[in-house]
Each structure stands twice: as C-alpha cells, then as structure tokens.
C-alpha cells in the first residue's frame, strides 16, 4: 500500500457538529486528496489510527508564505486525539475516496 505524508499537525480545532480539523503545512507530493479518502494519523507517542477525510481546505496564512492545509477528520470527536506534531499520511495514494474532489 503506497503512503504519502500530507502534513505534520501544527494546530487542531474542534467545530461543533462538524468534527476535528488538523492544520499544518501542506507537503505537495503531487497527490490528489479526496473527500472520503483514507488517512493514517501517527501520534508523536508512536500510536496511530486510521480515519477518513470529510473535508479538505487549502489556504495561505500570510502573503507569500507556505500553503497550509486543513483536514476535517471523520470520526475524531476530541481534538486531544490528534496532538500537535502528529503526522497525517494518505493511505493507498494510487486510489482514494469517491468521485468528489476537494478543491486545492
């Protein structure tokens, strides 16, 4: 199974009724991210879990700065489940999700 690192988590937010959003600098490896695509979150303590993307947003914090990505993680209820420094990896980078693509 091909895996590609998407980001290292710099901040985590929780939105009532939506879920947990992990934010970090986007590592553009030429892969497309899809809503419904599977990702693995690897915590700094060595534990990991898999979940799906329920939303993706790409943005720039400052003029000319690096591009950042916000990943809405499905089935992650508490932001504490994704501590800062966690790595988010795209699973099976050759084929992901359904036909709905998130704009990048």
pLDDT digits (tens, 9 = 90+) for 63-86: 666 788 999 998 898 999 999 999
Spell out the domain ranges in the chain.
3-91
Residue with tokens 């990943």: 71
Distances (CA, A) of 79 to 16, 94, 95, 98: 11, 29, 28, 26
Instruction: Round to whole Å and give the CA distance between 87 and 40.
Output: 8
- Predicted confidence (pLDDT) per residue in 14-71, tens digit: 988 889 999 999 877 677 888 999 999 999 999 999 999 999 998 876 666 678 899 9
User: Topology of 3-91 in CATH?
Assistant: Elongation Factor Tu (Ef-tu); domain 3 (2.40.30)
Q: What is the pTM of this model?
A: 0.81
Confidence (pLDDT) at 43: 97
């Amino acid at each position: 199974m091909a895996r590609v690192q998407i980001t290292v988590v710099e901040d985590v937010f929780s939105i009532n009724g939506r879920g947990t959003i992990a934010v970090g600098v986007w590592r553009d490896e030429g892969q497309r991210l899809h809503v419904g695509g599977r990702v693995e979150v690897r915590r700094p303590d060595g534990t990991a879990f898999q979940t799906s993307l329920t939303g993706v947003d790409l943005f720039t914090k400052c003029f000319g700065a690096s591009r950042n990505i916000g990943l809405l993680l499905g089935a992650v209820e508490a932001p504490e489940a994704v501590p800062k420094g966690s790595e988010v990896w795209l699973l099976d980078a050759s084929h992901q999700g359904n036909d709905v693509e998130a704009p990048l």
